[in-house]
Structures are given as structure tokens and as C-alpha cells.
């Protein structure tokens, strides 16, 4: 298998890349890690006229925490960078849990978080994580930058709101106001498979009380699911067996799974319930151990 | 040397724009004129005739095409050859010297880490990427690092043993 023909450009700056995209007039695609795009090209599900490779643009491979706690991930930060990140392992448990579960170790050396968000696969793990964290995507175009909440960034399977001459340059996790906790669990048939179901949970606490909560669901609908009601059930109260049960029930209700070769809809819904309980129970257990 | 898919497929040849790329392959400078859609795996196999890099699934699942790209394991069927311009590529042919197998190759021989051998080049380069970074991995770390490479023969036990054997040999030789 090999792709259909395309023109290829490897600009050295974002401005050049944006210019190229504009000349491409909607028939151009950005190539970052390529771990979703290249297979799509080979399968000829995608046949762009122009490929704009951004890998030679300096200064996009970062991930860092601002002094206020905001986490910023550049467009060329690879999954493997995040997997090894002390920034995440010490301060962002939902992302730290997800990073080693993306695809397989070799794909993680190339694939990028921002690219995963742009690809907008309903089975994409990072979209659920960023949904739970209330993250956003920074897009750069000829007229400057704009910030788009992840929940509004994706408009459908494999579709996002980027204009034809915009590049997603950064993903941002807003600074937490309280103490962060959370996790990501994914059921997969084997390493590298898409999720049968995945659940991302991110909470912030102040004292005993949960002040913010987000729950994102992977692979159980036509798009990433923001389980808003489930998250709301957690906020304003301490974590308890009762609130955990309610959140898990509501998350399972929010799931829209379909029966396929990975499992029945009922089974996937059950997994969502189990994962919500498991992630939140682990948070209570580690809080008890710390106390 | 020009690498086009026309040479390996019945597509009608026309005026295909090519790009000159240069890269270091197994320590040697190589140049080629490639059409942008050429995959790195295909440049290695059909352009440079380094046929040790296998293409198995073609969908970035199996890892048989794994090579080292600037020292990191990547799937060469999921990278364009033009992207390797100016970079360093290491294939299975770069492991052994004229007279001596690499300890990783010795490990696969000693511990029977292969049966049909199709996945072996990718396995060995994934192992090399691991051992370059961690000279004393646990069994679990080996399994984790190799989890992007599929084998349909061995059941993986002997592959894991081979990598652990190689790690010990490399440590003993002080090469790690």
C-alpha cells in the first residue's frame, strides 16, 4: 500500500506553513507525527493535493508548566515525551495515566497529542483526557491566534473547526484552582488497538470538597463524550461511595456505545461504569493512605 | 538513484516531481531522488536494497518495519522517505559487523527468539532502542518496550529471553 500522489512542502516557519495551507485552498493537510494521517493516505481515505510537513519548524516540540500552573503542549510534542514527563507524573495524573496507553511504544515516538486532537477520531484517547480537563486548542492563522475549547474543537468524527489556513499549534490545560486528582483507564484487546472503551476523570479538590470535575469517554459514541451530568454529580461535595456510584451511573447513561467486534453495547456501558468507579475509588484510597 | 512507485507498480508513468534526499543509513551517507509519497520502508527495501526491513501489516500495527530514526524506534511504513532527509536511519543490516553478530542478534540465536523470522528485524531494533536507553531492563520493561511488535510464531517468551540475554552480554562487554 502506498499513498496517492501529493505535493510535499517542509516549511521552516509557521508563517510559511500557513501561507502554504492558504495556497492549498482546502486540499492541503498538515503532517505532524503522521501516525494517523500516513495510514489514512495509504488506505487512500485521505488524498490531499498538498502535504505541509511541520516537523522542521523549530520550537514546537515543548511541553511545560507556566508559573500559574497552566500546562502547554506544543504541536510537535510526542506521546513518548509526555509518557516520560516528570511535569505530568508529578502534577497531572489524568494525562500521566493516559500517555503510556496511547497506541504502542513505537507509535508513541512519533505521534503527537495535538495531532491526535486534530484527527478527531472518536476513539482518540487524548480528546477524552482534554475534555475531562477542560482543555483548549490554540490555532494559528494569518490573522493571529485563537483559543478553542476542546469540546467545541471537534465537530464530528474526523472533523474539527480549523479553517483551511489554520494550524493547531498548542494544546492547553488551564491552571487548576484546587488540588488535582484523576486518572485514565482504557480497555483494549491488545496493545496498540483502539479502545473498546476508555474513561478520563479529572477532579480538583479544596479541602474535602470537589470544586471541579470533568469526565470524558472514549470509543463509546460517534464522538468523544463529555459526561457533563456525571461530572456535576461530584462537584460541591466530598468524594463518597454514594457520589461515586451516582457519577458512574450517569457516565454509563451518557455513553452511546455500539455493538461491534470489540464488544456489545451493554458490555461497553458496563466498562464505563466500572472505570469511573475504579478511578474515583483509587483517588479516595490514596487520599486515605496519605491521611 | 531515483525511487518512484512506477518501478514497483504498474501505475502509468508521467512527469513525477521528485525530491533529492540525503540521509545516513547505517553510518553511510545515502542519497536518492524520491517522489514525496514514497514510504521510508520502500526506499530502504527497493531503493537501497536493504531488504532486512520487512513490511508486514502495512497499517502500522505489526512493527516488522521498525527502524531507528535518530536513535528512536519508528515504523518505517508510516513515515515518508522525504521526512528522513538529513536524518540518521539504522536498519537491521547495521547491527552486525563483517565478522561478528551484534549481541542482540546473538541473543535471538542463543535463546531461539525466532521461528519464521519475519518479525525479527523489527524486534531487534525495538530491543536496541530499549537497550540503548536502559542497559538493565526488567522482564516487564522488555515486554513493555516490545509491545508494538507482533510475532505470530514464538508466543514472545523466547523473544523476551533473547533481549534479556543481550542486555547481560552488552553489560558484560561494557558496551551498554
Q: CATH no. for residue A266?
A: 3.30.390.50
Domain coverage including residue B141: 103-173
Characterize A243-264 residue by residue with b for buried, 16 or more Cβ atoms within 10 angstroms of its Cβ, and e for exposed.
Answer: bbebbbbbbbebbebeeeebbe
CB B88 within 8 A of CB B23: yes
Q: Are B72 and B15 found together in one domain?
A: yes
Instruction: Determine phi and psi for B112, rounding to 5 degrees.
Output: 55, 50
**H or E element: which one contains A145?**
strand A144-149
Cell, residue B137: 531492563
Cell, residue A49: 493535493
B39 and A106 within 8 Å at the Cβ level: the answer is: no
Q: How confident is the model at residue B10 (pLDDT cuts 50, 70, 90)?
A: very low
Q: Average pLDDT, stretch A226-236?
A: 98
Per-residue model confidence as pLDDT tens digits over A2-11 = 999 999 999 9
Q: How far is A195 from chain B (nearest CA, A)?
A: 14
Cell, residue A220: 463509546
Domain coverage including residue A40: 7-53
Q: Does residue A87 form part of some domain?
A: yes
Per-residue model confidence as pLDDT tens digits over B105-140 = 999 999 999 999 999 999 999 999 999 999 999 999
Handedness of CA B17, B78, A195, A76 (dihedral sign): negative
Q: Which 162-191 residues of chain A touch chain B by CB within 8 A?
A: 191
The last residue of a domain, from among B94, B129, B163: B94
Q: Which 94-113 residues of chain A touch chain B by CB within 8 A?
A: 103-107, 109-110
Q: Average pLDDT, stretch A236-243?
A: 96
Query: Other CB atoms closer than 10 Å to residue B6's CB: what's the count?
Result: 14
Q: Average pLDDT, stretch A16-34?
A: 96
Q: Are B7 and B85 found together in one domain?
A: yes
Q: Does residue A42 form part of some domain?
A: yes
Q: Does residue A1 form part of some domain?
A: no
Q: Average pLDDT, stretch B44-51?
A: 96
Total count of domains within chain B: 2
The last residue of a domain, from among B94, B118, B146: B94
Q: CATH no. for residue A144?
A: 3.30.465.10
Most B CBs within 10 Å, among A48, A104, A188, to test the B interface: A104
Residue A20: the pLDDT is 98
Q: Are B80 and B112 found together in one domain?
A: no
Q: Are B47 and B115 found together in one domain?
A: no
Angle at A184 between CA A101 and CA B132, to 5 degrees: 30
- Given a cut of 80, is residue B16 above it in pLDDT? no
Chain B interface residues (partner A, CB cutoff 8 A): 5, 9, 16-17, 19, 35-39, 42, 58-61, 63, 66, 69, 72-75, 77-80, 82-83, 85, 126, 144-149
CB B69 within 8 A of CB B91: no
Q: Are B111 and B78 found together in one domain?
A: no
Contacts with B73 from chain A: Cβ below 8 Å? 105-106, 109
Q: Does residue A259 form part of some domain?
A: yes
Instruction: Determine phi and psi for B48, rounding to 5 degrees.
Output: -95, 0
B36 and A55 within 8 Å at the Cβ level: the answer is: no
Residue A207: the pLDDT is 92
Local structure of residue B44 (DSSP, 8 states) = I
A109 and B74 within 8 Å at the Cβ level: the answer is: yes
Most B CBs within 10 Å, among A20, A81, A103, A105, to test the B interface: A105
Span of A195-199, A286-290, B43-47, B117-121 with lowest mean pLDDT: A286-290
Q: How far is A107 from chain B (nearest CA, A)?
A: 7
Helices (H) and strands (E) in chain B, counts: 5, 6
Q: Are B18 and B75 found together in one domain?
A: yes
Q: Are A186 and A212 found together in one domain?
A: yes
Q: Are B82 and B13 found together in one domain?
A: yes
Q: Are A242 and A216 found together in one domain?
A: yes
Query: Other CB atoms closer than 10 Å to residue A289's CB: what's the count?
Result: 7
How many angstroms separate the Cα of A64 from the Cα of each of A80, A134, B8? 15, 17, 45
Per-residue model confidence as pLDDT tens digits over B64-100 = 999 999 999 999 999 999 999 999 999 999 999 989 9
Q: CATH no. for residue B67?
A: 3.10.20.30
Q: How far is A232 from chain B (nearest CA, A)?
A: 37
Q: Are A185 and A280 found together in one domain?
A: yes
Q: Are A82 and A122 found together in one domain?
A: yes
Total count of domains within chain A: 3
Q: Are B83 and B119 found together in one domain?
A: no
Instruction: Answer whether A51 touches B (CB < 8 Å).
Output: yes
Handedness of CA B51, B52, B57, B58 (dihedral sign): negative
Q: How far is B99 from chain A (nearest CA, A)?
A: 30
Strands A136-141 and A7-9: unpaired
Q: Are B72 and B26 found together in one domain?
A: yes
Q: Are B87 and B143 found together in one domain?
A: no
A105 and B38 within 8 Å at the Cβ level: the answer is: no
Instruction: Answer whether A261 touches B (CB < 8 Å).
Output: no
Span of A176-180, A195-199, B11-15, B118-122 with lowest mean pLDDT: B11-15
Q: Are B88 and B135 found together in one domain?
A: no
Q: Are A47 and A73 found together in one domain?
A: no
Q: Are B7 and B81 found together in one domain?
A: yes
Residue A11: the pLDDT is 98
Residue A81: the pLDDT is 98
Contacts of B169 (CB under 8 A, 6+ apart): B103, B106, B107
Contacts with B17 from chain A: Cβ below 8 Å? 7
Q: How confident is the model at residue B176 (pLDDT cuts 50, 70, 90)?
A: low
Q: Does residue A121 form part of some domain?
A: yes
Q: Average pLDDT, stretch A44-48?
A: 95
Instruction: Determine phi and psi for B170, rounding to 5 degrees.
Output: -65, -40
How many angstroms separate the Cα of B3 from the Cα of each of A42, A180, B7? 17, 53, 7
Residue B14: the pLDDT is 60
Residue A209: the pLDDT is 96
Strands A209-218 and A225-226: antiparallel
Q: How confident is the model at residue A36 (pLDDT cuts 50, 70, 90)?
A: very high
Q: Average pLDDT, stretch A19-37?
A: 96
CB A17 within 8 A of CB A52: yes
The last residue of a domain, from among B94, B115, B136: B94
Q: Count interface pairs A-B at CB distance under 8 A.
A: 91
A2 and B38 within 8 Å at the Cβ level: the answer is: yes
Query: Other CB atoms closer than 10 Å to residue A205's CB: what's the count?
Result: 20
Closest partner residue to A39 (CB to CB) among B42, B78, B146 is B78
Residue of A nearest to B11 (CA): A4
Per-residue model confidence as pLDDT tens digits over A108-165 = 999 999 999 999 999 999 999 999 999 999 999 999 999 999 999 998 889 999 999 9
CB A105 within 8 A of CB B73: yes
Q: Does residue A151 form part of some domain?
A: yes
Q: Which 4-23 residues of chain A touch chain B by CB within 8 A?
A: 4-8, 10
- Given a cut of 90, is residue B1 above it in pLDDT? no
Angle at B158 between CA B117 and CA A83, to 5 degrees: 95
Beta strand residue intervals within B26-96, DSSP E: 28-34, 66-69, 72-75, 88-90
Residue A288: the pLDDT is 84
Q: What mean pLDDT, rounded, does chain A reach?
A: 96
C-alpha–C-alpha distance, residues A60 and A77, integer Å: 7
Place of cell 491566534: A145
- Length of chain A counted residue by residue: 291
Residue A193: the pLDDT is 87
C-alpha–C-alpha distance, residues B115 and B121, integer Å: 13
Amino acid at each position: 500500500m502506498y499513498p496517492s500522489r501529493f505535493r510535499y512542502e517542509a516549511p521552516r516557519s509557521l508563517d510559511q506553513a500557513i501561507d502554504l495551507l492558504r495556497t492549498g485552498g482546502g486540499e492541503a493537510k498538515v503532517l505532524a507525527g503522521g501516525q494517523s494521517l500516513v495510514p489514512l493516505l495509504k488506505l487512500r481515505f485521505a488524498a490531499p493535493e498538498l502535504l505541509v510537513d511541520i516537523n522542521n519548524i523549530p520550537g514546537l516540540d515543548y511541553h511545560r508548566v507556566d508559573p500559574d500552573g497552566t500546562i502547554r503542549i506544543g504541536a510537535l510534542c510526542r506521546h513518548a515525551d509526555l509518557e516520560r514527563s516528570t511535569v505530568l507524573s508529578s502534577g497531572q495524573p489524568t494525562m500521566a495515566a493516559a500517555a503510556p496507553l496511547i497506541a504502542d511504544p513505537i507509535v508513541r515516538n512519533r505521534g503527537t497529542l495535538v495531532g491526535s486532537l486534530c484527527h478527531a477520531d472518536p476513539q482518540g484517547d487524548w480528546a477524552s483526557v482534554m475534555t475531562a480537563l477542560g482543555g483548549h486548542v490554540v490555532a494559528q492563522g494569518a490573522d493571529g491566534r485563537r483559543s478553542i475549547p476542546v469540546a467545541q474543537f471537534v465537530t464530528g468524527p474526523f472533523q474539527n473547526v480549523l479553517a483551511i489556513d489554520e494550524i493547531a499549534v498548542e494544546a492547553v490545560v488551564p491552571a487548576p484552582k484546587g488540588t488535582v486528582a484523576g486518572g485514565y483507564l482504557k480497555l483494549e484487546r491488545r496493545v496498540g488497538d483502539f479502545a473498546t472503551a476508555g474513561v478520563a476523570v479529572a477532579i480538583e479538590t479544596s479541602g474535602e470538597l470537589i470544586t471541579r470535575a470533568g469526565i470524558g469517554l472514549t470509543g463509546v459514541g460517534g464522538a468523544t463524550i463529555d459526561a457533563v451530568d456525571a461530572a456535576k454529580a461530584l462537584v460541591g461535595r466530598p468524594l463518597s461511595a454514594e457520589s461515586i456510584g451516582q457519577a458512574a451511573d450517569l457516565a454509563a447513561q451518557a455513553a452511546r456505545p455500539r455493538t461491534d467486534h470489540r464488544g456489545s453495547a451493554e458490555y461497553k456501558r458496563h466498562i464505563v461504569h466500572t472505570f469511573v468507579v475504579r478511578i474515583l475509588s483509587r483517588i479516595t484510597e490514596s487520599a486515605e493512605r496519605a491521611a | 538513484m531515483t525511487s518512484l512507485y512506477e518501478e514497483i507498480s504498474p501505475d502509468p508513468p508521467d512527469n513525477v516531481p521528485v525530491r533529492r534526499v540525503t540521509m545516513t543509513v547505517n553510518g553511510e551517507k545515502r542519497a536518492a531522488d524520491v517522489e514525496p509519497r514514497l514510504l521510508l520502508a520502500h526506499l530502504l527495501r527497493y531503493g537501497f536494497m536493504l531488504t532486512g526491513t520487512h513490511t508486514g501489516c502495512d497499517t502500522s500495527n505489526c512493527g516488522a518495519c521498525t527502524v531507528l530514526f535518530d536513535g528512536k524506534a519508528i515504523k518505517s511504513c508510516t513515515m515518508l522517505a522525504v521526512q528522513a532527509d538529513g536524518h540518521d536511519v539504522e536498519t537491521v543490516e547495521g547491527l552486525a559487523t563483517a565478522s561478528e553478530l551484534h549481541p542482540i542478534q546473538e541473543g535471538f540465536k542463543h535463546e531461539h527468539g525466532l521461528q519464521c523470522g519475519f518479525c525479527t528485524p523489527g524486534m531487534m531494533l525495538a530491543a536496541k532502542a530499549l537497550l540503548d536507553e536502559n542497559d538493565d531492563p526488567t522482564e516487564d520493561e522488555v515486554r513493555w518496550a516490545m509491545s508494538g511488535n507482533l510475532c505470530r510464531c514464538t508466543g514472545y517468551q523466547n523473544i523476551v529471553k533473547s533481549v534479556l540475554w543481550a542486555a547481560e552480554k552488552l553489560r558484560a562487554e561494557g558496551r551498554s
